[in-house]
Chain A
Amino acid sequence: MPTKLYAGTEVTVTDEGFFTDPGQWNEDMAPEIAREAGIGDLSARHWQVIEFMRTEFAEKGSGPTVRALGKTSGVSVKELYQLFPKGPAKLAARIAGIPKPRGCI
């Protein structure tokens, strides 16, 4: 497994950059992962999505898909794609340090 250094801590990630152990993640790492994923500074709206991803993962054991995010995170699908143009569920999961969501819809 590849390792990455975020906020001075070494963590293990998949080939696509998703954390293998969400417990290794902390908030200080998010801005660095975001920059690496091609997203600039994280706004309050980005954080709303990232925190939602963490909560959903903690409750359900998997991250929500874009459709689920649009319905329940308080951020619309349109805005989600403005915040995370290269795939909201995927990028937000990566920045939130949780595994890649696997839903088809």
Chain B
Amino acid sequence: MTAKIEKVSVIVSKGSLEGIYPALIMANGARAEGIEANLFFTFFGLDAVHKAKHEHIKLATVGNPGLHLATWAGGLPGMSAVMTHYLARRMDELDIPPIPEFVELIADTGAGLYACQASVDLFGLSKEDFVDQVRDIITVGEFYDLAAGGQIIFT
């Protein structure tokens, strides 16, 4: 035990279930280890903190070879909903919180949650569209200032 990570900034750029959970687990795990953590939500990653959308995050069943489903089957109506439901049940059994609860937990650990200015402009959103845990809407430059002196993880 020589080197120790003191600070991480995790960028969340994807809006799928498998895109969001790893980032949340990394940030929460960092705080559990006493590591300072920030989360920066950009592009479709914003859905994780979007009031109207964060309860409806779905697993990608198309273009996801890891599922080992035939491509045409992944595109069947309702497939994404069924697979998401199945995963949600497994997660519940393992006591992995749903995304809204997880975001709240991470904010309670003292991690900073920020939305990306460019993406907010692009999608025509404002601070009111996000859960209260989002501290601010910041530019990429401000993100680098926040991330200074730590590790940056892009997901």
B28 touches A81 (CB 8 A): no
How far, in Å, is B20 (CB) from chain A's closest CB? 14
Interface of chain A: mostly helix, strand, loop or mixed: helix
- Asked if A41 is at the interface of the complex by the 8 Å CB criterion, the answer is no
- Residues from chain B with a CB closer than 8 A to the CB of A70 are 105, 108
Are A105 and B96 touching (Cβ within 8 A)? Answer: yes
Cβ contact within 8 Å between B95 and A67: yes
Interface pick from B11-19, B29-37, B122-130: B29-37
Whole-angstrom distance from the CB of A95 to the nearest CB of chain B?
14
Among A5-13, A43-51, A85-93, the stretch in contact with B: A85-93
A residues 63-80 in Cβ contact with B at 8 Å: 65-68, 70, 76-78
The distance in angstroms between the C-alpha atoms of A74 and B110, with both chains bound, is: 19
State the CA gap A63–B114 with chains docked (Å).
32
Whether B108 lies near A81 (C-beta < 8 A) is yes
A76 touches B108 (CB 8 A): yes
A-B contact count, CB below 8 Å?
Answer: 45
Which residues of chain B in 3-31 are interfacial with respect to chain A, using CB atoms and an 8 Å cutoff?
25, 28-29, 31
Is B73 at the interface (CB under 8 A from chain A)? no
Closest to A16 in B: B1
Known: A15-B1, A104-B29. A77 touches B34 (CB 8 A): no
Q: How far is the CA of A90 from the CA of B34 in the complex (A)?
A: 9
Task: Indicate which residue in A67, A90, A91 contacts B105 across the interface (CB closer than 8 Å).
Answer: A67
Is B97 an interface residue, CB under 8 A from the partner? yes
- Tell me, rounded to whole Å, the shortest Cβ–Cβ distance linking A89 to chain B: 6
| Residue from A76, A87, A89 with most neighbouring chain B CB atoms (10 Å) | A87
A15 partner residues in chain B, CB cutoff 8 A: 1
Whether the pair A89, B1 counts as a contact (CB closer than 8 A) is no
Q: Are A104 and B105 in contact (CB under 8 A)?
A: no
A105 touches B33 (CB 8 A): no
Q: Does B80 lie at the interface of the complex (its beta carbon under 8 Å from any beta carbon of A)?
A: no
A89 to B105, CA, bound (A): 14
Among A65, A66, A91, residue most surrounded by chain B Cβ atoms (within 10 Å): A66
A105 engages B95 (CB within 8 Å):
yes
Nearest A residue (CB) for B1: A15
- On whether the beta carbons of B108 and A87 are closer than 8 Å, the reply is no
A16 to B108, CA, bound (A): 26
Which residues of chain A have C-beta atoms less than 8 A from B33's C-beta?
A: 87, 90
The 5 closest A-B pairs by CB, nearest first: A86-B34, A87-B34, A77-B108, A78-B108, A66-B32
